[in-house]
Amino acid sequence: RGRGAMSRRERSSGGAGAAGGDVVAAAAPERRLSLLPWDCFSAWLHCVCVVGFDLELGQAVEVIYPPHSKLTDKEKTNICYLSFPDSNSGCLGDTQFCFRFRRSSGRKVSLCCFLDQLDRDLPVYLKKDPAYYYGYVYFRQVRDKSLKRGYFQKSLVLISKLPYVHFFRTILKQIAPEYFEKSEAFLEAVCSEIDRWPPPVPGEILHLPIMGIVMKLRIPTYRDKPGTTQVVQNMHQADAQISVALPTVHEVDLFRCFCPVFFHIQMLWELVLLGEPLVVMAPSPSESSETVLALVSCISPLKYCSDFRPYFTIHDSEFKEYTTRTQAPPSVILGVTNPFFAKTLQHWPHIIRIGDIKLPGEIPKQVKVKKLKNLKTLDSKPGVYTSYKTYLNKDEEIIKQLQKGVQQKRPSEAQSVILRRYFLELTESFIIPLERYVASLMPLQKCISPWKSPPQLRQFSQEDFMKTLEKAGPQLTSGLKGDWIGLYRRVLSSAHFLKSPNFDGWFRSRQKEMTQKLEALHLEALCNENLVFWSQKHTEVETVDLVLKLKNKLLQAGREHLPVKTDTLKKLQTHIDDIILALPDDLQDILLKTGTT
């Protein structure tokens, strides 16, 4: 019996133990997976497209690389129209911008589970949205008398799920001019080089070679303190070959983007926070896309949860859905350049009209918010057209600080840092009271019993939350006066609760985190019990039921990536093994073979 028990223990730890090992491995990035050709490429890009102009067909996708990349006809059509500026933009020379479009429904999600592992380590605002692709464009239009139209017009487009705007812009700046000279063979070489890159692991310093240069960068993680940027510099001798050190992978020049509507930054922050419908009317896709991205980022570290389109055209597959007058405008931010939109979207409640974005030598004179009825054409003066009244008083300090920066010729990057910090403090002042209240919905640890299901979170009560604001409201972290209570009511009121996707998205995320924490604490409570002693005092049926429940707990910990220490999982596996070994041989054999759901 002793020897038999020994061999069964080996069997037990080899079989069931392997399951425990899998759980532990599942909690860390799976970097040991053997990668197939194009797996590394797919971690960064879906594909590269070349869009040209055909006299008979108009815009057409000429090349998709790698050739096996799949795009539906609807996706190709969207890429075609979004990769060229509207004819009225008059973009001569080279233009860079980005767009975002819906993936076709029914598409298979990538099987690369290790990419999902990487996604979990990202800050919430950088996580991939599986329903959308980004398109990063380098468009060239130059006179060419040898062509019938008299112009060479072509776009090199990178299609990716990653929102790393600055990174892909830098890549295109490096490869596009050379591609227009060398054509397809060069593109193939670029893609092969990308396929040799390491995966985009958050928190690691990455060295990425691309056509003779090496880029050094770091992707942020959710552990980074909001508002801080890990500076990537060429500091070591070993970095001698580094050609480009990127200070950020995703940020735009915030100050440059907001300069045309400088006096309304606080109002725009409120509108974005509330998920209000916003349209940006700009002279070119570069201006529209950068301004939309700046707006989306101004509520960071909150994730902007509604749809946003940095560049939107009348050919977009969602054009009818977003411009219909039969229902209220949706919660979305659109960037447009076609004059047609001045008429089509004149029923929208908030319109931002911007002129050419230049590096600001001077801040525009203070302008009042304009009435919507005054916006008739895209030639209307730059400004914000809305009837919205802000809840918070205008912060004169930030305006003075940035005006002083312009007078002192402070670099735009430094101005952007000041503005980003201002928005961050505003967002955190708004969210901290909510965080504090939601944390109080968590049951006390003493309520967690190993022999009962984990307790539920208490329900969110708007009334109870509002009562906390008198003593623990935004006044603790912000000197900004105004109707904070009104702003919270607008976000939380039943009429706006589902219309405020940013709060809804944040709350769902916090709910999930706290529920997982309760599951993890329940697991730890189980591990601290003498389960073998318990099983000896209960029937075989009850013991088998316990073993199956414990096995399910282990699988759940791996599947849902519960915040559990590896030692706790190993301890639970040992408990399972010990309980099984105390059972009769026939039950041992059954339980060792039994997987669970």
pLDDT digits (tens, 9 = 90+) for 459-505: 988 889 999 998 888 888 888 888 999 999 888 874 444 457 888 88
Tokens 């707006």 label which residue?
A: 295
pLDDT at 419: 94
Instruction: Establish if 263 belongs to a structural domain.
Output: yes
Classify residue 596 by burial, with Cβ atoms within 10 Å: 0-12, 13-18, 19+. middle
Higher model confidence: residue 6 or residue 132?
132
Q: Are 276 and 397 contained in the same domain?
A: yes
State mean pLDDT over 292-302: 95
Q: Across the strands, what pairs with 140?
A: 94, 154
Provide mean pLDDT across the span 15-22.
35
Order of all β-strands in the sheet with 278-281: 307-309, 332-336, 278-281, 350-353, 383-386
Q: What is the amino acid identity at position 64?
A: I
**pTM value?**
0.85
Asked whether residue 553 is domain-assigned, the answer is: yes
Per-residue confidence (pLDDT) for residue 446, from 0 to 100: 82
**Residues paired with 159 in a beta bridge:** 47, 135
Q: What is the pLDDT of residues 101-153, one digit of tens each?
A: 999 876 555 545 556 678 888 998 999 898 999 999 999 988 887 777 777 88
- Residue 279, pLDDT > 90, answer yes
**Residue 506 forms part of a structural domain:** no
Rounded CA separation 42/194 (Å):
9
Q: Is 59 helix (H, G, I), strand (E, B) or coil?
A: strand
**pLDDT score recorded for residue 111:** 44
Q: What is the CATH number of the domain that holds 261?
A: 3.40.50
* Structural domain includes residue 487: yes
Rg of the chain (C-alpha set)? 28
- Residue 552, pLDDT score: 87
Domain interval for residue 125: 39-197
- Is 208 in a helix, a strand, or coil? strand
- 275 has pLDDT over 80: yes
439 and 545 belong to one structural domain: no
**Residue 421 to residues 77, 223, 506: CA-CA distances in angstroms?**
40, 18, 20
Q: Does one domain contain both 409 and 436?
A: no
- Verify that 569 and 439 share a domain, yes or no: no
d(CA 430, CA 380): 34
The pairs formed by 588-595 with CB atoms below 8 angstroms and a separation of 24 or more are: 588/8, 588/12, 591/544, 591/547, 591/548, 592/8, 592/11, 592/12, 592/15, 592/16, 593/15, 594/548, 594/551, 595/19, 595/551
462 and 580: one domain? no
CA distance 69 to 103: 14
Q: What is the DSSP string of 149-183?
A: TSEEEEEEEEEES---HHHHHHHHHHHHHHHHHH-
Q: CA 266 to CA 269: how far, in whole Å? A: 5
Examine the pLDDT at 242 and tell me if it is beyond 70: no
Rounded (5°) CA angle 156-158-159: 135
Q: What is the pLDDT of residue 9?
A: 33
* Beta strand residue intervals within 415-501, DSSP E: none
Confidence of residue 447 (pLDDT cuts 50, 70, 90): confident
| 348: DSSP letter | S
Assess if residue 247 is contained within a domain. no
Q: Are 262 and 190 in the same domain? A: no
User: 406 and 434 share a domain?
Assistant: no
Lowest mean pLDDT among 189-198, 359-368, 383-392, 488-497: 359-368
Distance CA 131, CA 137 (A): 20
Residue range 233-252: average pLDDT? 73
87 part of a folded domain: yes
Per the structure, how many domains does the chain have? 4
In a domain, 504, yes or no: no
* pLDDT of 474: 87
The pairing of strands 350-353 and 278-281 is parallel
Mean of per-residue pLDDT scores for the chain: 83
